[in-house]
Amino acid sequence: MLDTRTCVQALLDRQLPEGGWSFCASVRQPAVEPTALVLLALPAHLVRERTAAANFLSAIQNPDGSWPAFVGDDREGSGVTGLAAYVLRRYGLDGPAMDRAHRWLLRSHGWEAHWLWKWKFRTTDRHVRFDPDKFGWPWMPETLSWVIPTAYSLLALKSCLWRSEQELGHSRTRRGVEMLYDRMCLGGGWNAGNGVVYGHRIAAHPDATALALLALKGEPASRFISESLGWLEQRAQTCFAPWSLAWAIIALRAFGRPVDRWISRLVHIGEPGEIEDCATLALVSLALNSTSALDILEISS
């Protein structure tokens, strides 16, 4: 069975000498996404381990304020920058490093924001259904916007304390929110990028839907949010993958939806040692700990 204590202990056993975590327990290359999610999941009394994780994330930040996806990655920045900035801000880090991260996020955007790509998507490439005026953040620079890096970036920008560029911050946040609404799948929910491609409806995914909903927490009530919450509740009925189920629990709980039966299912999925992916194990721990799961959502609208 899974519980918060055993999940946390398994994560502590997997912490690497650098202070971070890899995606897979058998790999020794620390990465940003699992490290950030574990830092969110670790209880506050684990000061030494949390400090080591925060120091690792701070140490690998690129000079321009972005984060690579993993140690040894190129220095162009990646779509996990928003997650790293958000988690370090929740940890309590402030100052020049966070200012650089927020400036990078404000100036990063999907390629559809460029006039040439806007023209392309309005004239010659009509296979995807989205408005290029509504853009978010890409996984890698010089690529199109995607749902998950956009959600991570919105979490970071909504949680920061603006010291400058407030107008740009508000405008960039609004564009990201508009992008999520524009990319919603028909019937609710989100997938990696688009709801309709080549005229075909593309199915939503639980993890992308949950993250988009978390990023939209605090936005005015709308059909986008209500339909997507309804879709996520329905999808949870047949969801057994720990990663997806944990995200669904965290998002549904954040919006006040009942999650007890989904938690009961998650508890019986297996043992911590059977979950090789450290990011998944961190999410399971968050989902099983109601205080931590709510703490992840302390953002300002």
* Encoded tokens for 33: 């996404």
What residues form DSSP beta bridges with 21?
31
Nearest by Cα to 84 from 99, 69, 74, 71 = 69
User: Would 21 be classed as within a structural domain?
Assistant: yes
Per-residue pLDDT, 275: 97
User: Would 31 be classed as within a structural domain?
Assistant: yes
Q: Is 257 left (phi over 0), alpha (psi -120 to 50) or beta?
A: beta
User: Would 289 be classed as within a structural domain?
Assistant: yes
Per-residue pLDDT, 220: 95
**What does the pLDDT look like over 112-123, one tens digit per residue?**
765 455 545 555
In sequence order, what DSSP letters do the residues of 83-99 get, joined into one string? HHHHHHHHHT--SHHHH
CA distance 219 to 128: 26
Neighbours of 162 (CB within 10 A): 13
Per-residue pLDDT, 293: 47
CATH number assigned to the domain comprising residue 29: 1.50.10.20
User: Would 183 be classed as within a structural domain?
Assistant: yes
CA distance 203 to 235: 11
Neighbours of 21 (CB within 10 A): 29
| End-to-end alpha carbon distance in the chain | 37
Nearest by Cα to 40 from 284, 300, 301, 251 = 284
Task: Determine the average pLDDT of the residues in 169-197.
Answer: 89
Q: Reply yes or no on whether the pLDDT at 195 is more than 70.
A: no
Q: Reply yes or no on whether the pLDDT at 136 is more than 70.
A: yes
Per-residue pLDDT, 193: 79
Q: Which domain holds residue 212?
A: 4-295
User: Would 111 be classed as within a structural domain?
Assistant: yes
Rg of the chain, C-alpha, whole Å: 19
**What does the pLDDT look like over 208-223, one tens digit per residue?**
999 999 999 999 999 9
Beta strands in the chain (DSSP E): 137-138, 145-146, 196-197, 200-201
Looking at the structure of the chain, the number of domains it has is 1
CA distance 141 to 294: 31
Q: Which residue has the tokens 């047949």?
A: 238
User: Would 301 be classed as within a structural domain?
Assistant: no
User: Would 300 be classed as within a structural domain?
Assistant: no
**What does the pLDDT look like over 55-105, one tens digit per residue?**
999 999 999 999 999 998 888 899 999 999 999 999 999 899 999 999 999
Higher pLDDT, 158 or 119: 158
Inter-residue contact 204 to 235 (CB < 8 Å): yes
Per-residue pLDDT, 301: 37
